[in-house]
Amino acid sequence: MARWEPNARERLVRAALDLFTEQGYDATTVKEIADRAGLTKTTFFRHFPDKREVLFAGQDVHARLLADAISEAPGPATPMEAVGAALDSITATFTDDRREFSARLRPVIAGHSELQERAALKRAGLAGAMTEALRKRGVPEPTASLAAELGVRAFYNAFDQWADPADRQTLTELARHTLDELRAAAAALG
């Protein structure tokens, strides 16, 4: 593969996942990832600060999508309706061609504590982005952070189900269903 071909970032992500799956996270070097992608180590570091971050590409985009959708929700929308709009926005970016990639990603992250820690930071960052967007809409605490946490939980629960190749629902359908279940569970708390 020529070094000048487009999509270097995506090629690096896919090469990293392939290598992490084949030989393990610890045994894989940045140079091997770059080589597999047909790029240089320098190019890798233009896109990612270290090999851990390669699997979390797009976090900033996801946080922005969530926050923008909450900001753009209709004025009378409740906090949970705004969170639902945010979930619709982010899940629309997860097309069926990403399902297989996501199914392979989950066990790699689950198998390494450093990646689990980074995944927890991503989750917190997404919740923080939604909380801040809700606050800007005038939603007080703790309502803003609770709504955001429910949204993030709905997204991740739905993502785990969606990444199973046997499930044919869209991530948007799953996230909306999961959010409804969480809302009902919260209401049942009394």
Contact 69, 88 (CB under 8 A): yes
Maximum alpha-carbon separation in the chain: 61
64-99 tens-digit pLDDT: 999 999 999 999 999 999 999 999 999 999 988 888
CA distance 127 to 145: 7
Q: What's the pTM value of the predicted model, to 2 decimals?
A: 0.90
162-190 tens-digit pLDDT: 998 787 899 999 999 999 999 999 999 98
Percent with pLDDT over 70 in the chain: 97
Q: Where in the chain is the domain with CATH 1.10.10.60?
A: 8-54
Q: Where in the chain is the domain with CATH 1.10.357.10?
A: 58-188
Predicted confidence at residue 110, as pLDDT, reads 94
pLDDT over 70 at 2, yes or no? no
Instruction: Mark 55-83 as b/e (b = at least 16 C-beta within 10 Å).
Output: bbeebeebbebbbebbeebeeeeebbebb
CATH of 8-54, one of 2.60.120.860, 1.10.1060.10, 1.20.140.10, 1.10.10.60: 1.10.10.60
**Class of the domain covering 58-188:** mainly alpha
Tokens of 186: 């919260």
Helix pair 99-110, 143-162: axis angle to 10 deg = 110
DSSP the chain: --TTSS-HHHHHHHHHHHHHHHH-TTT--HHHHHHHHT--HHHHHHH-SSTTGGGGTTHHHHHHHHHHHHHHS-TT--HHHHHHHHHHHHHTT--GGGHHHHHHHHHHHHT-HHHHHHHHHHHHHHHHHHHHHHHHTTPPTTHHHHHHHHHHHHHHHHHHHHTSTT--S-HHHHHHHHHHHHHHHHHHT-
C-alpha R_g of the chain: 18
CA distance 97 to 173: 17
149-168 tens-digit pLDDT: 999 999 999 999 999 878 78
